Structure 1
C-alpha cells in the first residue's frame, strides 16, 4: 500500500469516526439521548480493541439484545448508528491488517501496554458504577461479583488472544518485512 493510498484510507476512516462523533454530540438536545452520554460520552466508543468490541457486542446482542442494546434505544438511535459503532469497525480493522504492515513491539512490552489499557478501561467502568450506581453496559447488572470477575478475566484472555492473533496475521501477511525495514533505517 503506497503512502498516498494509506493516507487516503486513514483520512476516510478518520472522517467516518469524526462524523459519528459529531452526530452523537448533536444528540444533547434530546433529554432521552443526552442521559446516555453522561460519564465518558461519545469517547467510550473510541477504543483500539475493535475486534473484541465487534465480537462481544454481537455475541451478546444475538443472545439477548437487552444485555447490551435494549429495544428502548431503537427509538433514540437509528439502526445505521448502531452498525456504525459496532459493525463497521470489523471491516476497517481487517482492511488495515491486510493492506498495511504493522511493527509490533516486543511481546512483553506489547502485552504489558495492552494489560495497562484493559486495567484502565475496567477501572473506568467500575468507577462510573461506583459514582452513579449505573452500569455502562446492562449485562453487568445481571452478573454477581463472581460473574463480573469471570467476565473481566475471560474478556482479558480473549483480548490477549486477539492481540496475539493479529500479530500472527501481520507476520503471515507481511513476514519479516517490518524488521528488515527497521534495520535499514
Structure 2
C-alpha cells in the first residue's frame, strides 16, 4: 500500500502543480484578452474559491508525499515526531477544510453552470481557458479527494466536530471577507450571479455557503465514522 500511496500522491501533486502553473499564466496575461468580463475574472483569478481549493489540495498532497517518503527512511525519534505532527495536521486539513471545500467547489460550479453558464464560465472565458484546465480545477478534484479515502491506511486524524465547525466557519469567513472586499475595492463581482440579484439575495447566497459547507463537513465526518466502523482501511 505504501507504494500505491507514493505513486498516487506523486501523480496528483504533479497534476496540481501543472494546473496551478497554467492558472497563474492565465491570470498574469489577462490584459491581452479583448473581452472585459474575461479580463475582470482572470485579473482576480487567485481570489476565486476554486483557486483556494486547488491550493489547499496541493498543500495536502505535498505533505502526504513527504510522509510517504519518510517510510523509506531509517526510523528515528525525530522522524517519528515529524511524522506524528504532519499526519495530524494533514488529517485536520483534509477533514475540516479540504473535503467540504472540494465538494462545495464541484457542486456550486457545475450547479450554476447548468443554470446559467455566464455566472461562472462565460463563453469568452472558456475560449481563453483550455477545457482540460477547467476539468482539472472543477472535476478532477473529486476523484483525487475520494481516492485519498480509499488508499489511506488507518484512522485519519480529525478534531471534534464542534471544533471542526468553528475552524471551517472561520475559514469561510476569511474567504467571504476577501470576496466582499474585492467588490468594494473594484466594483467587481467575481461570480456573475451576484450581478443578477439584489442585496437581500446576495446575503442569502453568502449565508448559504456557510450552511452548505457545514453540511458537507458533517457528511465527511459521517463517512469517516462509517469507514472506521467498517474497518475500511
Q: TM-score, normalised by structure 2?
A: 0.69
Given candidates 149, 152, 160, the residue that maps to 1:97 is 149
SS of 2:116's equivalent in the other structure is helix
Change (3 A) 1:5 1:11: same
Q: Report the counterpart of residue 51 of structure 1 in structure 2.
A: 103
Determine whether 1:147 maps to 2:147. no
Give the structure 2 partner of residue 172 of structure 1. Answer: 226
Q: Residue in 2 aligned with 1:79? A: 131
Q: Which residue in 1 is equivalent to 2:7?
A: 8
- Contact kept in structure 1, 2:48 and 2:190, CA below 8 Å: no
Residues 60-71 of structure 1 aligned to structure 2 (within 5 Å)? 60-71=112-123
Q: How far apart in 2 are the matches of 1:156 and 1:53?
A: 13
Tell me which stretches of 4 or more aligned residues in structure 1 moved more than 6 Å.
none
Aligned to 1:181: none
State the Cα distance separating 1:35 from its structure 2 match.
5.0
Conserved? CA contact 1:21–1:42, under 8 Å: no
- Is there any run of 5+ residues in structure 1 with no aligned partner, and where? 178-185
Matching residue of 1:37: 42
> When the two structures are aligned, how many residues end up with a matched partner?
176
Aligned pairs for 1:12-23 within 5 A: 12-23=11-22
Q: Does the aligned pair in 1 maintain the 2:120–2:192 contact within 8 Å?
A: yes
Give the distance between the partners of 1:65 and 1:34, measured in 2 at CA: 17
Displacement of 1:71 in angstroms is 1.0
The CA RMSD measured in Å over matched residues stands at 2.1
Q: Please list every run of 5 or more consecutive structure 2 residues that lacks an aligned counterpart in the other structure.
A: 54-97
Alignment counterpart, residue 128 of structure 1, candidates 156, 168, 182: 182
